[in-house]
């Protein structure tokens, strides 16, 4: 007879055991967010047991007894297994349903009927636990039963963010220094200017590049005085004089 058909016949005939006497649960966390779950149960021989599992998306399912590989059936978050002649079964699978990530922070959420052990990968740093752990040994943490949350991050991810942020900080400081220097240089140049020179700059800032006659009329100064004023400002690097039939005065960037 086909073993699968035999399994379902046994399932119809034998009573289902929904509460096991003891269960050992180990959850190995991977860096990509997947978890490998191992649920070891002490069971009676030749019975059908229904075991709650952690998550609906299960991959690489393997169920073994202390004698052989066992047949199983999945419905929702439960696995039904024929124990055959085994007194201990090990249910193993991978699932992505136990972890979530926000930024660099990962969170493992487990609702367990019994205490369980979490094994973190190398480089993981646990920063928050929802309950006081029963035991901590290296990268293993034993948690009590019930709904538990464990938050952690990987040191390598933190270093990557630091390596990314550091150049941005350096660029920001460089721009800040450059802006401060330009502002200081501008203030220094203005502090060296005479009152009439400042008035010329204010006029050019309001009206843009202008004819020398327009500036002279606005300031109310003689032509000779204006010519000397513009030459003096040109030597200071404040303005640029474009010569023509009439001189054209252009304000330089300070």
pLDDT digits (tens, 9 = 90+) for 46-62: 899 999 999 999 999 99
C-alpha to C-alpha distance for 59 and 65, rounded to whole angstroms: 19
- Per-residue pLDDT reduced to its tens digit, 208-250: 888 888 888 888 888 888 888 888 888 888 888 888 778 888 8
Torsions phi, psi for 235 (to 5 deg):
-65, -35
Average of pLDDT values for 151-180? 67
CA proximity to 73, closest of 65, 64, 82: 82
| Of residues 4 and 131, more confidently modeled | 131
User: Looking at residue 156, what is its pLDDT?
Assistant: 67
pLDDT band at 160 (very low <50, low <70, confident <90, very high): low
Q: How is residue 1 written in tokens?
A: 């007879």
Tokens 């959850």: give the residue. 27
Beta bridge partners of 59: 94
Q: Among candidates 235, 109, 102, which has minimal Cα distance to 118?
A: 109
Return the CATH number of 3-157, one of 2.60.40.290, 3.40.109.10, 2.60.40.1730, 1.10.150.120. 2.60.40.1730
pLDDT-based confidence at 169, cuts 50/70/90? Answer: low
Determine the pLDDT at residue 88. 92
What is the percentage of the chain residues whose pLDDT exceeds 70? 78
Q: Would you kindly state where each structural domain of the chain is located, as residue ranges?
A: 3-157, 194-254
Residue 6: pLDDT band with limits 50, 70, 90: very low
Is 119 in contact with 29 (CB distance < 8 Å)?
A: yes
pLDDT at 224: 84
Q: What is the pLDDT of residue 253?
A: 67
The answer for residues whose C-beta is within 8 angstroms of residue 61's C-beta and 6 or more apart is: 72, 74, 79, 91, 92, 93
Residue 194 has pLDDT above 70, yes or no: yes
Residue 157: which residues within 8 A CB-CB, separation 6 or more?
104
Report whether pLDDT(9) > 50. Answer: no
Confirm or reject CATH 1.10.3720.10 for domain 194-254, answering yes or no.
no
Residues 78-105 pLDDT 10s: 999 998 989 999 999 999 999 999 988 9
Residue 106 pLDDT: 94
């Amino acid at each position: 007879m086909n073993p699968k058909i035999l399994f379902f016949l046994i399932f119809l005939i034998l009573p289902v055991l929904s509460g096991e006497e003891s269960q050992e649960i180990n959850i190995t966390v991977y860096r990509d967010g997947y978890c490998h779950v191992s649920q070891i149960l002490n069971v009676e021989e030749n019975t059908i047991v229904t075991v709650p599992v952690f998550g609906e998306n299960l991959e690489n399912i393997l169920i073994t007894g202390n004698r052989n590989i066992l047949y199983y059936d999945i419905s929702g978050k439960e696995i039904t297994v024929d124990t055959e002649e085994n007194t201990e079964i090990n249910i193993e699978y991978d699932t992505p349903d136990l972890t979530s990530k926000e930024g660099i922070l990962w969170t493992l959420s487990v609702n367990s009927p019994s205490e369980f052990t979490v094994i973190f990968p190398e480089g993981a740093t646990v920063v928050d636990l929802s309950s006081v752990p029963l035991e901590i040994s290296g990268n293993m943490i034993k948690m009590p039963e019930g709904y538990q949350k464990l938050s952690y991050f990987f040191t390598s991810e933190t270093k990557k963010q630091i390596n990314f942020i550091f150049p941005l900080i350096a660029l920001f400081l460089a721009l800040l220094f450059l802006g401060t220097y330009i502002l200081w240089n501008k203030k220094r140049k203005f502090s060296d200017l005479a009152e009439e020179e400042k008035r010329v700059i204010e006029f050019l800032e309001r009206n843009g590049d202008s004819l020398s006659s327009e500036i002279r009329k606005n300031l109310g100064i003689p032509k000779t005085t204006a010519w000397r004023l513009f030459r003096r400002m040109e030597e200071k690097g404040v303005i640029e004089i474009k010569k023509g039939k009439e001189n054209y005065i252009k304000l330089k960037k300070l």
